[in-house]
Amino acid sequence: MFDPVALPFIFATLMGVSILLYVVLDGFDLGVGLLFPFAEEDERDRMIASIGPFWDANETWLVLAIGLLLVAFPVAHGDILTALYLPVAVMLIGLILRGVAFEFRAKAPLGHKRPWDVAFWAGSLMTALSQGFMLGMYVMGLEWTWPKVGFALLTAGALAVAYSFIGAGWVILKTDGALQRKAVGWAKGGIWGIVLGMGAVSAATPLVSQRIFDKWFSFPEVALLAPLPLVSGGLVVALWYALRRLPADGDRFAWFPFVGATALMVLGFCGMAYSFYPYIVPEKLTIWEAASSTEALSIILVGTLFVLPVIMGYTVLAYFIFRGKATKLSYD
């Protein structure tokens, strides 16, 4: 048995880490899908090759995150998912389309490849937009009124562009030559998505809730938290500066757009986590009110502490095996 007060906090942290890993990892492969219309056919093959060995495991972080919500906070799970019924359905159909298009485009008769490419793009777009929409609705307290839905539509667009930015960063990292140069252009076009998205959420969150406003803008918090927006701003400037000079000789700094985008997402996530803590359903239900029994959480935690390092280990192994520039995908 673990401490009944600590357990919900541990699970909220685990769930947060899963969501963050999902947003970064599936973010880049969703982004690659979003960039499909801007690429030629042979470029699309190479982009697919760069995410082929990873996408399935990346999506598993979403299953873990939703699984942790389901098992650790069953009451919140019902509240959040019934409120987000439609966007969840759109996301699921999007995930289905892109997941299967991935396989079908390589195995279907030659003439069918293009429709499956369109399905891959459409599925990625549905997934990205609905996730951004859910993010906005969550920030707005899960209430379906027009101004709030309008805000959610804004974050939907912003997250999709942000995903395409980190996707372009991935392509810069994993390819070379003409495609890499093209991806630098895509990244330049997509960086505003991250700025707009993070800016909108940062501006709106304190306005929606007095509690969150006080958390950020009372002294000394405001001074302690200042590095968060300052570092984010600095990163955006550095990214913009780097993108104007990439690709560099000897492929130096090809990793920077992807790592920079990841760092921005981590910072944005930390800010949001700070705002909403200790609530899991915004302003309604805290993690302690929504948590499962101590006994059930204990039994999951034992397994998690044992298994999670192993999962991390073989995930790193997979990224190590498929390191370097992406080559043509083959089963041989």
Partner 1 sequence: MDTLLLSRIQFAANISFHILFPTITIALGWVLLFFKMRFARTRERKWMDLYMFWVKVFALSFALGVVSGITMSFQFGTNWPGFMETVGNIAGPLLAYEVLTAFFLEAVFLGIMLFGASRVPGWLHTMATFLVAFGTTMSAFWILVLNSWMHTPAGYELVDGVVVATDWWAIIFNPSLPYRLAHMLLASGLTVAFLIAGLSAYRWLRGDRAPAVATGLRVGVMLGAVLIPIQILAGDMHGLNTLEHQPQKVAAMEGNWETQGNVPLLLFALPDEAARENRFEIGIPSLASIILKHDPAGVVPGLNDFVAEDGTAMHPPVAPVFWSFRVMVGIGMAMLVVAWAGVFLMWRRGADALPRPYLWGLTGMSFAGWGATLAGWYTTEIGRQPWLVQGVLTVEQAVGDIAAGMVLSTLIAYLAVYAVLMAAYIGVIFHLARRGGVLYEPVASPGMQPVTSAGIHPAE
Q: Which residues bind partner 1 (CB under 8 A)?
A: 52-54, 56-57, 59-60, 62-64, 66-72, 74-75, 77-82, 84-86, 88-89, 92-93, 95-97, 99-100, 102-104, 107-109, 292-293, 295-296, 299-300, 303-304, 307-308, 311, 314-315, 317-318, 321-322, 329-332
Could you tell me the smallest distance in angstroms from the CB atom of residue 317 to partner 1?
8
In whole angstroms, how far apart are CA 21 and each of 1, 14, 28, 136, 262? 28, 11, 11, 19, 10
Q: Compare residues 109 and 250 and give the one whose CB is closer to partner 1.
A: 109
Could you tell me the smallest distance in angstroms from the CB atom of residue 74 to partner 1?
4
Q: Compare residues 80 and 254 and give the one whose CB is closer to partner 1.
A: 80
How far from chain centre, in Å, is Cα 231?
Answer: 20
Residue appearing with tokens 């509240």: 79
Could you tell me the smallest distance in angstroms from the CB atom of residue 71 to partner 1?
3
Q: Compare residues 115 and 233 and give the one whose CB is closer to partner 1.
A: 115
Could you tell me the smallest distance in angstroms from the CB atom of residue 178 to partner 1?
24
How far from chain centre, in Å, is Cα 218?
Answer: 30
Cβ contact 30:91 at 8 Å: no
Q: Compare residues 146 and 331 and give the one whose CB is closer to partner 1.
A: 331
DSSP label at residue 280: E
Could you tell me the smallest distance in angstroms from the CB atom of residue 47 to partner 1?
15
Q: Compare residues 71 and 225 and give the one whose CB is closer to partner 1.
A: 71
Q: Compare residues 178 and 316 and give the one whose CB is closer to partner 1.
A: 316
Cβ contact 118:183 at 8 Å: no
Q: Tell me the two tokens of residue 167.
A: 């996707």
Could you tell me the smallest distance in angstroms from the CB atom of residue 98 to partner 1?
8
CB-count exposure of residue 317 (10 Å: 0-12, 13-18, 19+): exposed
Q: Tell me the two tokens of residue 279.
A: 């609530």
State which H helix or E strand residue 281 sits in.
Answer: strand 279-281
Could you tell me the smallest distance in angstroms from the CB atom of residue 205 to partner 1?
24
Q: Tell me the two tokens of residue 69.
A: 């919500």
Q: Compare residues 74 and 229 and give the one whose CB is closer to partner 1.
A: 74
Could you tell me the smallest distance in angstroms from the CB atom of residue 19 to partner 1?
14
Q: Compare residues 218 and 330 and give the one whose CB is closer to partner 1.
A: 330
**Rounded to an integer, what distance in angstroms lies between the CA atom of residue 290 and that of residue 300?**
16
> What ranges in the chain are assigned the alpha helix state H?
6-34, 41-51, 55-72, 74-83, 85-107, 113-139, 146-174, 177-208, 210-217, 221-225, 227-243, 256-276, 287-290, 294-321
